[in-house]
Structure formats: structure tokens, C-alpha cells
Amino acid sequence: MRPPLLRMFTCAILCLVAVHPARGVDGDYKEAMRVRSLLHAEELPLGAMPHARLQDPPVAETVLLPVSRGFNQRSTGLCWAYATLSALETIHLVRTPDGPDVELSRRAVQYYTMEDRYRRSIKQLNADIREGGIVLDALRLIQSNGIVSFDDYADVADPYGYANIADMIAGAPTFTDRIIALYEGLDIVYTAPPTQTHVPVLSTVEPNATYAPADAGDLARFVLGREVWQSYTPSSTKSGFHAHPDADARWENVSWHMPHGEFPGRIKQALMAGFPVVISIRNHALLVYGADYDAAGSPITYYIKDSYPPYYYVTDANYLQASFWEMTTVEL
């Protein structure tokens, strides 16, 4: 946990430091870099404005939400979880600009994801064991299991321990034995998340306190609030609710399909209300936390937070709008 000024300074420094991806991250890292190339991304230290480009129309309005510091997804496939937690952290910063910040544990969602995938596999509901997922599932996992602060749990674990868990489960003779083997394997690879964590103190009851002890469910309720989140998919042939387009989504997840031209307005509506937007491009999820608009209200530039360093950049709005295939934000 960091004071706001120190947090912004730390983020700016991190954007200037070359960080090499962890061993085994090659595929996800290359995908993220392909997305940046596709978007013609311009790296941006946190808090800075993009350099003016001659081809840009004049900026008449900028909507820019606060963002938390960058976290590196390393050798995991958890871009969707990182974007979800970054979104929740931004919403907290919007609501309490002068209060203590919230940094949520990425590893906790990693643990809950693999626990859920293996349990479903044991019950023969889903045999796909990997870290891919969507925002709606991340929110559901947090609601069901709780969440802990980043400082109360370790960073994400190397995913190459999965095969060990699968072998342990495969060697168990009964359903009960497989469940026992699952949790033994999860404990070896990840160690279970703590049940106790800390939540920000926002009242004046304890004026000298910044964070108070709480359980994981308390922090989950604190960051989730009462918002309802919705997935949206651009479509020229469908309208209304249909199956979610992401292959990693559970079968019960749905997305609202609507014309591509409606998305700029929906994104602006969310940003103006203080809610960031998670965008899916190729196989990578990104957080949109701001935009520049021209005099007609059309987007010129979008501000992006990524889960690989340097974490912040900007892209021409037309590049992003032509490339994404799904977005998730708070339903308004």
C-alpha cells in the first residue's frame, strides 16, 4: 500500500525500467506485443499526456480516470484477471480520491481460477485446465471466495506446476480422493490464500488508522460494491444476449451483441460515470481508463493500462475500435 504521490512516482519509474518477461511467458508476451503493434501504441508514463500528433484533430475534452500501479502478469495467462482487478482498483480511486488505495492480490484470483477449473474437471463439467478466463468469471470468483490485498499474499506463481496437480488427481481412485489430491496439489503449487486481510479505513472513527483487519469476504464486498457488470460484443448479424464469444468463458456466460458503431458511445458513457472498460483484442485483455474527444464528441485517443511493462500507453481510437472483439464494464 502506498500514499497517492508515492504511488504515482513509483508507476512513472516502472514505466522507464526494462523488465524482461519470466521464462515460459513467451506465448502470452508475444501476443501482448502483437496487440501493441496492432494498436500502434505510444508508451506513456503514468500521469503524462500523449505527444500531440499532426494528424490528430484538436482535443476538446479529456476523460481520464485514476489508475493503480502496474503489475506484471509474468509467466501466467491471467491478463483478464489483471485487467479486472485494475478496474476494481480504479473504481475505488474514483470513489475515494483522498483515501487509502487498494491493491488486490492477483495470485488469489490465480488460485481461485485453478481451484474452480480442476473441481469442474473432477465433476466432468469442464476438462479444460488453463488460466484463460473472462472478467465476468473473475468477478464471480471474487464474490464467491473473497479477495485479499496484494501485500497479504505472494505474487503470482509459475503455472508449470499444473501438470503435477493433474497427475495427483489422475492417480486418485475415488471422487473424494481426487478432491483431497486437488487441494494437496494446490497447496504445493500456490499455498492457499489467507482468510484474513485488510480493508481501507474511510471513516473518522479511527482517524489515525489507514487499514483495518478484515476477512477476505469483507474486502470482496468492499471492492465489488453493488455494480452489475456486463459483457458487450460487436456484431453486424445479432442483437441482444447471446453466448459469450471467448472460448475460455463458461457456457452460462452471455454477452450483449450490438452494432460496432454503438461502442464509442458506450465506452464514453462508462468513463464519464467513473467506470473503466476492459477490452479484449486478439487473446489479450487491456484496461481502458481514459480517452480524448474532439468537438463532436468522437474519440481521438484511448488510454490503456496493460499487464506487461511498461504498463501505460495510448492508442489512436480508430485502431482500437477496429481491433477489439469484446468489452466488459459496469452496466449503466
Per-residue pLDDT reduced to its tens digit, 252-297 = 899 999 999 999 999 999 999 999 999 999 889 999 999 999 999 9
Cell of 210: 489507514
Alpha-carbon distance of 228 to 57, in angstroms, equals 35
pTM of the model: 0.87
Q: Which CATH class is domain 4-330?
A: alpha beta
Question: Quick one: cell of 57?
Answer: 484533430
Instruction: Please tell me the predicted confidence (pLDDT) of residue 4.
Output: 40
Helices (H), 62-174: 79-95, 106-122, 135-145, 162-170
Do the Cβ atoms of 255 and 244 come closer than 8 Å? yes
Amino acid identity of residue 261, one-letter, is G
At 37-73, the pLDDT tens digits run: 888 888 877 655 665 554 567 899 999 999 999 999 9
Place of cell 523488465: 19
CB atoms within 10 A of CB 269: 14
| Band (199; pLDDT cuts 50, 70, 90) | confident
Are 318 and 303 in contact by the 8 Å Cβ rule? The answer is: no
Helix (H, G, I), strand (E, B) or coil at 316: strand
Residue 11, pLDDT > 50, answer no
Indicate whether 176 pLDDT > 90.
yes
Q: Is the dihedral of CA 40, 44, 49, 52 positive or negative?
A: negative
62, 65, 66: which is closest to 11 by C-alpha? 66
Cα-Cα end-to-end distance for the chain = 30
What interhelical angle do 216-224 and 135-145 show, nearest 10?
A: 140
Domain ranges of the chain: 4-330
- In degrees and rounded to multiples of 5, residue 236 shows phi and psi of -100, -5
* Apex 282 CA angle, 48 and 145, nearest 5: 80
Mean pLDDT of 24-34: 76
Buried b / exposed e across 107-118, counting CB within 10 Å, b at 16+?
bbbbbbbbbbbb
Confidence of residue 8 (pLDDT cuts 50, 70, 90): very low
CA distances to 26, 36, 107, 158, 164 from 73, rounded to whole Å, are 12, 16, 10, 10, 22
User: Is residue 274 left, alpha or beta, with left meaning phi > 0 and alpha meaning psi from -120 to 50?
Assistant: left
The cell numbers describing 12, all together, are: 512513472
Give whole-number Cα distances, 303 to 43, 49, 83, 111, 155, in Å.
10, 9, 14, 30, 26
| Radius of gyration for the chain, computed over Cα atoms and rounded to the nearest angstrom | 20
Range in 23-37, 63-77, 199-213 with the lowest mean pLDDT: 199-213
Confidence check: pLDDT of 112 > 60: yes
DSSP string, 244-298: -S-TTS-TT-EEEEE-GGGHHHHHHHHHHTT--EEEEETTEEEEEEEEEE-TTS-
Look at residues 326, 311, 98, 95 and name the one whose alpha carbon lies nearest to residue 224: 95
